[in-house]
Structure 1
């Protein structure tokens, strides 16, 4: 994908630059890589595919790098090295190696590399997704998990918020009266749950500020893969035929940053330390405590920059991953009508058509729950983990991996391993149902929310949302492809999450 994007940019440039200029730029580009970026393999890094000079293995990593990494696993084993541009990157495949690195050696693999675009989004390594693994990260991660519980996670109040949003979502689906609709709009429902927790209230889908926020997030996610070019080659944003792409990425980062800062300012202007309305107020309270106690320790861990980075993390992770899971779920149901019928039969029997579904119904809906498990296995939002980085020299599967080495966990390889999942490309929810008729609690080689220190902090919220949203939708609608339309490609589109391609479905009322 990265190589293809760079080549597209070159082709576009040829139309506006003469050949000699392009050649000079290309030579300069390659020379700069050699002088500034080239790295050599160190220690006993695991062997892998032979890299091309200067660009490494990028030509092989097209639109679906997770599939290529899984293919290479058969040739080089569970742990091997690829070169991505100037950097050596270790790829970890399979259940055993993933657990060894992320669980048994959790602290050693918990850091993040300092990459240009990620640094811009995280205010220099802050927040919980791209933040550096240090005391501030640990404090902010603890804040997220504690505050989500405080504002209702695992309680009736959070469930009520999701149920209210599910009703709004079903009203929106019903407004199409069975006509084709773009399932990408499911992101609005997922984002509104986050809004209710972070801002203290939801927004009508047509609200101006809400639409602006969704547009910025959507554009940022579409630019996320382009941004990887500048993560590997930060100076590439100054190359004429790539500068426009770089400007788009940075401009969008700045707009998101400005939007979130305005929200923080509104909260600061009305802040009352005795009343905490939402996550932002809870964070401002932490900052206020630091100032009140004159504590440099708290001030270092909780700052406005940390807060803005954390808000970005919550919205991106809470919107894109949940929306992608729901879109995949509806697409699988539309292309497997027998599965959809079984889900609806179970829901009708246990919940009925009129009763709002609750999380208490989940144990009595094993087939429906298994469908969501199978969706997450086949199309986990994180086919590849965000890049980890070794915090010290480590040994994995007998290979020495130096400190500050980038490491990707290929979660796709866990979920598509035939040793654990026979015929892994077949959609079969029953593989998650045990002999007792219940959903298997902790199946091996299954980690849709990753593992270890960097596992998704919002895992329980995401599971609650997808369950309540999906059951609410199938209670009232049947989903099918538009008349005469072929099913879209099921490989997915790599971005922040592995999302289905843009497509339409018809929500046909069952009422």
Structure 2
């Protein structure tokens, strides 16, 4: 049992320990919120930001206007922090051209955000911080495929290429659909019809398949894409405040579910392509074997 005098002596010690703990925590937060600048480099100018949240409150609901005002004070190259993540902000046409055109290789990378690791298991070509030789090879492969699609043509078609053919078919469908709606209700919102048509052209380019506009799988894909755009546009605090990755987050759970659905859809299409590719190969082998038999009419060889 503690006596009254011993208890009174222990209270200042507890207060001292609590104060030391708070001081160490604050010091850690301040140090963590000030990213280290490599030796020989100078940190760009910028406003003072709060620990842990950075300049999130400064940007407000209209960040473009806030950044324009800050650039008038700190120049065309300045640094802010969103959470604990440093962000370099470029303003002015000449500055942006210098970075994105003249020094494109230095600025072609993407931020290493936590949410990016959840898309395609971190192997996405668009949402990936990697800009090395593997990423460059994949990018060239995709560019060559899109270029071939926009150059190659069907001999039986009057279109100049497959891309034009798909766009023409979708445009014809849209015109007929709009005329039908005008003859019926007389008014309609064209947004969803246009989005579905654009999605159909992309599906034709990526999957070699056109869907009917009432196809539920296509409509689900459009809805998924809209949800994904809304979630990514609103931003994810866990990308900029790492500790939030380990806390319950309904927005992050929703984002994970969206990426899972996208992955299921693409994997299904990939498996179907593998299946049809194997069927085509099997048919070519049979044709090849048949041609050999024709070359040897005197017996089986």
The Cα shift of 1:64 comes to: 3.7
1:258 is matched with 264
- Which residue does the alignment assign to 1:335? none
Q: For residues 260 and 227 of structure 1, do their structure 2 counterparts lie closer, same or farther at Cα, with a shift above 3 Å needed?
A: farther
Match of 2:237 among 220, 224, 229: 229
Residue 40 (structure 1) aligns with: 35
Q: Tell me the alpha carbon deviations over residues 247-272 of structure 1, each in whole angstroms, 9 at most, x when there is no partner.
A: 11111111111111111111112215
Aligned residue for 2:221? 213
How far did 1:150 drift? 0.9
Task: Report the number of matched residues.
Answer: 245
* 1:76 alignment partner in structure 2: 74
How far off its partner does 1:74 sit? 2.3
Please provide the CA RMSD for this pair.
2.8
Tell me: CA distance 1:140–1:211, structure 2 relative to 1, closer, same or farther (3 Å). same
1:130-169 residue pairs with structure 2 within 5 A? 130-152=128-150, 155-169=160-174
SS, match of residue 217 in structure 2 = helix
- Pairwise CA distance, 1:110: 1.5
Give the structure, 1 or 2, with the largest relative contact order (CA under 8 Å, sep 6 or more): 1
Tell me: CA distance 1:255–1:157, structure 2 relative to 1, closer, same or farther (3 Å).
closer
List aligned pairs for 1:440-479, cutoff 5 A: none
Distance in 2, matches of 1:82 and 1:184, equals: 38
Q: Which of 74, 95, 110 is residue 112 of structure 1 equivalent to?
A: 110
8 A Cα contact 1:37 1:87, kept in partner: no
TM score, norm. by length of structure 1:
0.44
Tell me if the contact between 2:238 and 2:244 (Cα under 8 Å) persists in the aligned partners.
yes
Distance change in 2, residues 1:107/1:114 (3 Å):
same
Gap change, CA 1:69 and 1:207, over 3 Å in 2: same
Change (3 A) 1:128 1:226: closer
In the TM superposition, what is the alpha-carbon distance from 1:163 to its structure 2 partner? 1.6
Per-residue deviation at 1:59?
1.1
Structure 2 gap ranges (5+): 1-21, 153-159, 282-301
Find the residue that maps to 1:151 and give its secondary structure. Answer: helix
Q: Matched residue of 1:89: which SS?
A: strand
Contact 1:34 1:54 in 2 (8 A): yes
TM-score, normalization by structure 2:
0.72
Q: Which runs of 5+ in 1 are unaligned?
A: 1-26, 276-511
CA shift digits 1:255-299 (9 cap, x unpaired): 111111111111112215978xxxxxxxxxxxxxxxxxxxxxxxx
Question: Quick check: which has more Rg, 1 or 2?
Answer: 2
Q: Pick closer, same or farther for the CA change 1:63–1:263 going to 2, 3 Å.
A: farther
Structure 2 matches for 1:226-305, cutoff 5 A? 226-240=234-248, 243-272=249-278
Q: Between Structure 1 and Structure 2, which shows a larger proportion of strand residues?
A: 1
